[in-house]
Amino acid sequence: MTNLFNYTQPFIRYEITNRVVMHHGPCECGNPSPWVTLEGRVDDIVTFVEDGKEIKIPPLAIYAVLKEVHEIQRFQVVAHKDNKLELRINPKNGHNKEEAFESSCIALRKFLASHGIHHVQISLSKEEPKQYPQSGKFKHIINAS
Protein backbone atom coordinates (compact mmCIF):
# COMPACT_ATOMS: atom_id res chain seq x y z
CA MET A 1 0.00 0.00 0.00
CA THR A 2 1.07 3.56 -0.56
CA ASN A 3 -0.49 6.90 0.13
CA LEU A 4 -1.21 9.60 -2.44
CA PHE A 5 1.31 12.07 -0.97
CA ASN A 6 4.45 10.21 -2.10
CA TYR A 7 6.42 11.80 -4.91
CA THR A 8 7.78 8.48 -6.14
CA GLN A 9 6.00 5.62 -7.80
CA PRO A 10 5.65 2.50 -5.66
CA PHE A 11 7.60 -0.57 -6.75
CA ILE A 12 5.23 -3.51 -6.97
CA ARG A 13 6.62 -6.92 -7.73
CA TYR A 14 4.66 -10.02 -8.66
CA GLU A 15 5.24 -13.24 -10.52
CA ILE A 16 3.25 -14.49 -13.48
CA THR A 17 3.99 -17.89 -14.93
CA ASN A 18 2.27 -17.32 -18.28
CA ARG A 19 4.50 -17.32 -21.32
CA VAL A 20 4.01 -14.91 -24.21
CA VAL A 21 5.79 -15.36 -27.56
CA MET A 22 6.64 -12.23 -29.55
CA HIS A 23 6.52 -12.58 -33.35
CA HIS A 24 8.41 -10.05 -35.44
CA GLY A 25 7.08 -11.00 -38.85
CA PRO A 26 3.73 -9.81 -40.16
CA CYS A 27 0.68 -11.68 -38.91
CA GLU A 28 -1.72 -13.56 -41.20
CA CYS A 29 -4.12 -10.61 -41.11
CA GLY A 30 -1.51 -8.50 -42.94
CA ASN A 31 -0.64 -6.18 -40.06
CA PRO A 32 3.15 -5.60 -40.28
CA SER A 33 3.51 -4.72 -36.58
CA PRO A 34 5.00 -7.20 -34.10
CA TRP A 35 2.38 -9.47 -32.54
CA VAL A 36 2.17 -11.96 -29.67
CA THR A 37 0.67 -15.33 -28.94
CA LEU A 38 -0.11 -16.57 -25.45
CA GLU A 39 1.24 -20.04 -24.68
CA GLY A 40 -0.20 -20.17 -21.17
CA ARG A 41 1.39 -21.34 -17.98
CA VAL A 42 4.79 -22.99 -18.18
CA ASP A 43 4.98 -24.50 -14.70
CA ASP A 44 4.24 -28.18 -14.49
CA ILE A 45 1.42 -29.72 -12.48
CA VAL A 46 2.72 -32.53 -10.30
CA THR A 47 0.71 -35.74 -10.15
CA PHE A 48 1.08 -38.09 -7.19
CA VAL A 49 -0.50 -41.54 -6.86
CA GLU A 50 -1.82 -42.54 -3.44
CA ASP A 51 -3.77 -45.79 -2.98
CA GLY A 52 -4.31 -46.02 -6.75
CA LYS A 53 -5.79 -42.52 -6.91
CA GLU A 54 -4.15 -39.63 -8.79
CA ILE A 55 -3.75 -36.42 -6.82
CA LYS A 56 -2.71 -33.35 -8.80
CA ILE A 57 -0.90 -30.53 -7.03
CA PRO A 58 -0.48 -27.15 -8.75
CA PRO A 59 3.10 -25.90 -8.93
CA LEU A 60 2.27 -22.61 -7.23
CA ALA A 61 1.23 -24.52 -4.10
CA ILE A 62 4.57 -26.35 -3.91
CA TYR A 63 6.39 -23.09 -4.63
CA ALA A 64 4.51 -21.34 -1.81
CA VAL A 65 5.50 -24.05 0.68
CA LEU A 66 9.21 -24.00 -0.18
CA LYS A 67 9.58 -20.24 -0.42
CA GLU A 68 8.69 -20.12 3.29
CA VAL A 69 11.68 -22.32 4.21
CA HIS A 70 14.06 -19.71 5.56
CA GLU A 71 17.25 -21.71 4.98
CA ILE A 72 16.73 -21.72 1.19
CA GLN A 73 17.94 -18.98 -1.15
CA ARG A 74 16.88 -20.73 -4.40
CA PHE A 75 15.27 -24.08 -5.10
CA GLN A 76 14.00 -26.30 -7.85
CA VAL A 77 11.81 -29.40 -7.50
CA VAL A 78 12.05 -32.16 -10.09
CA ALA A 79 9.09 -34.54 -9.87
CA HIS A 80 9.72 -38.09 -11.08
CA LYS A 81 7.20 -40.90 -11.39
CA ASP A 82 6.37 -43.14 -8.42
CA ASN A 83 6.02 -40.16 -6.04
CA LYS A 84 9.72 -39.28 -6.12
CA LEU A 85 10.83 -35.68 -5.70
CA GLU A 86 14.35 -34.39 -6.26
CA LEU A 87 15.25 -31.10 -4.58
CA ARG A 88 17.89 -28.81 -6.03
CA ILE A 89 18.80 -26.31 -3.35
CA ASN A 90 21.01 -23.27 -2.89
CA PRO A 91 21.07 -22.54 0.85
CA LYS A 92 21.19 -19.04 2.28
CA ASN A 93 24.46 -17.81 3.75
CA GLY A 94 25.01 -19.30 7.18
CA HIS A 95 23.11 -22.50 6.37
CA ASN A 96 24.30 -25.73 4.81
CA LYS A 97 22.56 -27.74 2.12
CA GLU A 98 21.62 -30.63 4.41
CA GLU A 99 20.02 -28.28 6.94
CA ALA A 100 18.00 -26.61 4.17
CA PHE A 101 17.04 -30.01 2.78
CA GLU A 102 15.76 -31.27 6.15
CA SER A 103 13.63 -28.16 6.67
CA SER A 104 12.30 -28.49 3.11
CA CYS A 105 11.38 -32.14 3.64
CA ILE A 106 9.46 -31.35 6.81
CA ALA A 107 7.51 -28.56 5.11
CA LEU A 108 6.80 -30.61 1.95
CA ARG A 109 5.73 -33.76 3.82
CA LYS A 110 3.36 -31.74 6.02
CA PHE A 111 1.85 -30.01 2.98
CA LEU A 112 1.52 -33.21 0.95
CA ALA A 113 -0.02 -35.08 3.90
CA SER A 114 -2.69 -32.37 4.13
CA HIS A 115 -3.64 -33.36 0.55
CA GLY A 116 -3.70 -37.09 1.29
CA ILE A 117 -0.22 -37.86 -0.03
CA HIS A 118 1.68 -39.88 2.57
CA HIS A 119 4.04 -42.00 0.47
CA VAL A 120 6.63 -39.74 -1.15
CA GLN A 121 10.38 -40.13 -1.51
CA ILE A 122 12.33 -36.86 -1.37
CA SER A 123 16.02 -36.81 -2.30
CA LEU A 124 18.64 -34.08 -2.26
CA SER A 125 20.05 -33.53 -5.73
CA LYS A 126 23.74 -33.09 -6.40
CA GLU A 127 22.75 -30.57 -9.08
CA GLU A 128 22.18 -26.86 -8.49
CA PRO A 129 18.93 -25.16 -9.51
CA LYS A 130 19.28 -24.22 -13.18
CA GLN A 131 17.57 -22.43 -16.00
CA TYR A 132 15.79 -24.26 -18.78
CA PRO A 133 18.44 -24.53 -21.54
CA GLN A 134 16.18 -23.87 -24.54
CA SER A 135 14.39 -20.76 -23.29
CA GLY A 136 16.64 -19.50 -20.51
CA LYS A 137 13.62 -19.42 -18.20
CA PHE A 138 13.84 -20.69 -14.65
CA LYS A 139 11.18 -23.18 -13.57
CA HIS A 140 10.81 -23.88 -9.86
CA ILE A 141 8.78 -27.05 -10.47
CA ILE A 142 9.71 -29.50 -13.23
CA ASN A 143 7.63 -32.58 -13.99
CA ALA A 144 10.14 -35.11 -15.35
CA SER A 145 7.80 -38.11 -15.38
Name the pLDDT band for 33 (thresholds 50, 70, 90).
Answer: confident
Cβ-contact 110, 82 below 8 angstroms: no
Q: Which helix (H) or strand (E) holds 65?
A: helix 59-67
Q: What is the pLDDT of residues 41-56, one digit of tens each?
A: 556 789 999 999 999 9
The alpha carbon dihedral of 88, 93, 98, 100 has a sign of negative
Cβ-contact 55, 115 below 8 angstroms: yes
Average pLDDT for residues 2-13, to the nearest whole number?
59
pLDDT at 140 over 80: yes
Alpha-carbon gap, residue 56 to 50, rounded angstroms: 11
Q: Which helix (H) or strand (E) holds 112?
A: helix 97-114
The alpha carbon dihedral of 95, 97, 103, 108 has a sign of positive
pLDDT at 57 over 80: yes
Domains and CATH numbers, the chain: 43-143 (3.30.300.30)
Predicted TM-score (pTM) of the model is: 0.70
Name the pLDDT band for 134 (thresholds 50, 70, 90).
Answer: confident
